[in-house]
A and B are shown apart, each in its own frame.
Chain A
Amino acid sequence: MTRRKFIYRVVKAGSVILVGAAWLAKKAAPRRFVRAVRHDKYPGPLRPPYGIFEQGKWSG
């Protein structure tokens, strides 16, 4: 193997490793959100609207 070919192979292998590591890092990193997407269905029970025009029982 010539020196030129050897260097070419080392660079190629290094590039493959770098691309792979970057892909893995991207895959492992969480997707980042500030604004959440609206979910259509409320996961809990629902009740009818009553007492809306009255004072609330909660503080604040």
Chain B
Amino acid sequence: MKVQCELCPKNCVISPGQSGECRVRVNIDGVLRTVVYGYPCSINVDPIEKKPMAHFLPGTGILSIATVGCNLHCRFCQNWEISQANPEETPAIFYSREKLFWSPQDLVDITKKAGCPSLAYTYTDPIVYYEYTYDTAKLAREAGIRNVLVTAGYINEEPWKRLLKFIDGANIDLKGFTDEFYINVCSATLKPVLNALILAKANGVIVEVTNLIIPTLNDKPEEIRQLCRWMKANLGGETPLHFSRFFPRHKMLNLPPTSTETLDLARTIAVEEGLEHVYIGNIASKEGQNTYCPGCKSLLVERSGYTILQNKLKDGTCPKCGRAIYGVWK
């Protein structure tokens, strides 16, 4: 008997023995099963700045997990070796020789052992290991650990709302601002992503947005301007935006890395459109890596790569003008 997975907008109809587009949600005997629950392919402690999250506990480590699989197939994917892999061919990490499975409680325990105040579901897309993310996030919340999603936000509304109850922060990719880009380059569509962004913000999640700028594909100033206008109107000017530098990867080896000029231009456009916190990532950038007060323009958090050089914030407010800065600071 066929099953239909209604987790993401692809709504895959899956024949017995087959998987959905994500490769990890499988029809076994007429039941939809997740074959990666409890089997992460990556567990590491990263600086939170790497997610990137600039307004969420800066300078702290974050336990970061992923399983294989993704519901998108971006031609430029930087992590394609795990996101576009079959679980049959990709090693997962076992917990111990006696107990192979990493339970949600094991992840919470290792987060505490690592001294991390937060746990990230990242690298591939936590949407495809939804049940694992959900169960772990629920336990982590009870244990006082904050949960961060790094995702493309390609999910149906009902499961997204259910998951958001346990999520504190999210970096959501807005990969482009046209349906054409999403369809041709990512095998997805734009509207569900916009909806996911609005819902996350409305549910009190600290949302940061990443836009990877790819030469010739989504780098038109007018498209960037439209994206920024949409963000300002729907997410608010305080929502941080990260413009990220593209490097040729996966199926997109024919394009050059994004130029510094394009990234600087994008940042200028975003500031013109009223976004208060605009960052540039994947490249050294003096202005584009620091946090400034949107009110008095004074430097609040100075960074060098993933390192915090100084953090002048006082209880999440600017020490000079007293303005509250969007984010989670302690």
Instruction: Give A27's nearest chain B residue, CB to CB.
Output: B1
B30, B45, B82: residue with the most chain A Cβ atoms closer than 10 Å: B45
Which residues on B sit within 8 Å (CB–CB) of A44? 68, 86-92
Q: A47-B94, A56-B44, A58-B79 are in contact. Are A35 and B130 (CB under 8 A)?
A: yes
A51 to chain B minimum Cβ distance, whole angstroms, is 7
Which residues on A sit within 8 Å (CB–CB) of B64? 56, 60
Q: Is the CB of A47 within 8 A of B79?
A: no
A26 to chain B minimum Cβ distance, whole angstroms, is 11
Q: A31-B4, A32-B3, A35-B130 are in contact. Are A42 and B45 (CB under 8 A)?
A: no
Q: Is the CB of B1 within 8 A of A31?
A: yes
Interface string of B263-276 (1 = CB under 8 A from A): 00000000000000
> How many B residues touch the partner, as a band?
35 or more
Q: Is the CB of A52 within 8 A of B45?
A: yes
Q: Is the CB of A46 within 8 A of B94?
A: yes
Instruction: Give A56's nearest chain B residue, CB to CB.
Output: B44
Interface residues of B in 245-289 (CB under 8 A from A): none
CA A40 – CA B42 in complex, angstroms? Answer: 19
Q: Is the CB of B36 within 8 A of A52?
A: no
Interface residues of B in 66-91 (CB under 8 A from A): 66, 68, 78-79, 82, 86-91
The answer to whether the Cβ of A2 comes within 8 Å of any Cβ in the partner chain is no
A residues contacting the other copy or chain, number (CB 8 A) = 30
CA A38 – CA B26 in complex, angstroms? Answer: 10
Interface string of B1-21 (1 = CB under 8 A from A): 111111100000110000000
B219 to chain A minimum Cβ distance, whole angstroms, is 19
Q: Is the CB of B33 within 8 A of A53?
A: no
Q: Is the CB of B93 within 8 A of A37?
A: no
Which residues on A sit within 8 Å (CB–CB) of B79? 58-60
Q: Is the CB of A54 within 8 A of B45?
A: yes
Which residues on B sit within 8 Å (CB–CB) of A56? 42, 44, 46, 50, 64, 123
CA A59 – CA B37 in complex, angstroms? Answer: 22
Q: Is the CB of B3 within 8 A of A38?
A: no
CA A30 – CA B18 in complex, angstroms? Answer: 13
CA A53 – CA B73 in complex, angstroms? Answer: 29
Q: Is the CB of A51 within 8 A of B33?
A: no
The answer to whether the Cβ of B31 comes within 8 Å of any Cβ in the partner chain is yes
Interface residues of B in 90-123 (CB under 8 A from A): 90-95, 100-101, 110, 114, 122-123
Our pick among A36, A41, A46 for the contact of B34 (Cβ within 8 Å) is: A36
The answer to whether the Cβ of A34 comes within 8 Å of any Cβ in the partner chain is yes
Q: Is the CB of A30 within 8 A of B4?
A: yes
The answer to whether the Cβ of B131 comes within 8 Å of any Cβ in the partner chain is yes
Q: Is the CB of A34 within 8 A of B93?
A: no
Q: A31-B3, A37-B31, A38-B37 are in contact. Are A58 and B66 (CB under 8 A)?
A: yes
CA A30 – CA B16 in complex, angstroms? Answer: 11
Please give me the 10 A-B residue pairs with the lowest Cβ-Cβ distance, nearest first: A56-B44, A33-B32, A30-B2, A59-B78, A36-B34, A30-B4, A39-B33, A38-B37, A42-B39, A58-B123
Please name 9 further chain A to chain B contacts, defined as beta carbons within 8 Å, in addition to the given A32-B3, A37-B31, A55-B47, sorted by A numbering.
A30-B2, A30-B14, A31-B1, A31-B4, A43-B87, A51-B44, A52-B114, A55-B46, A57-B44
